[in-house]
Amino acid sequence: MDHMIEGVLKFRSEIFPQRKALFEELSTGQSPEVLMITCADSRVDPGLVTQSQPGELFTCRNAGNIVPPWSRADESNTASIEYAVTVLGVSEIVVCGHSDCGAMKGALAPESVAALPQVAGWLENSRAAVAAARSRHPDLEGEALLRAVTEENVLLQLQHLRTHPAVAAVLASGKVRLHGWIYDIGAGDILAHNPDTGRFESLTAISAAAA
């Protein structure tokens, strides 16, 4: 905890004074453009990776960047998504998975989380991603299979998002766009799903090609 306390003190004495005007503006409300649904993994820092300023991202985090299909029983995720699109009026929704995801490892090997009933139940929301990855890529194993499951999981959660009434409404009116991303921790890059090719492609490469 010591380094966290030191960080708070540094923020208060150095960072906050430099950006006081921004924090004063944010103290009365927020108007983020993006809802980012990503993993709770400690290695994933959405603000750092996207270089976003405070107030620009409305972030929902959980194990496996999962969005269960709409249900009144899933109050936390549903409420956050509903609030983001209906009240805050976000115009972009990103589901962002990442490399070496422990949740996806658990989804691939359910026996590994058998002693964690809540985790096992939660990962049932990714079962279809595992099935799809194994069907599309029957010869893959190890890291390659994990990567395929991670990609399929992002696409699956985007499908689940469309079952949420609040999201369905803004999609129908063209007010929101959906994006599927994967953060490659070791490479420091984002891979974005391209609906035209069906592939996850490097944002760095795409930007370089467009320049």
Q: What is the DSSP string of 151-193?
A: HHHHHHHHHHHTTSHHHHHHHHTT--EEEEEEEETTTTEEEEE
Q: Taking Cα atoms as reference points, which of 203, 96, 205, 200 lies closest to residue 148?
A: 200
Buried b (16+ CB within 10 A) or exposed e, 44-75: bebeebbebeeebbbbbebbbbbbbebeeebe
Establish whether 164 is an annotated binding residue.
no
Establish whether 74 is an annotated binding residue.
no
Establish whether 98 is an annotated binding residue.
yes
Please, which residues have CB within 8 angstroms of residue 151's CB and are 6 or more apart in sequence? 97, 133, 182, 193, 200
Establish whether 41 is an annotated binding residue.
yes
Q: Taking Cα atoms as reference points, which of 29, 175, 156, 152 lies closest to residue 93?
A: 175
**Tokens 């107030």 belong to residue:** 55
Helix (H, G, I), strand (E, B) or coil at 29: coil
- 39: which strand partners? 62
∠ CA 200-89-70, nearest 5°, is 65
Which residue numbers belong to the known binding site? 39, 41, 98, 101
Which residue numbers belong to the known binding site for Zn(2+)? 39, 41, 98, 101
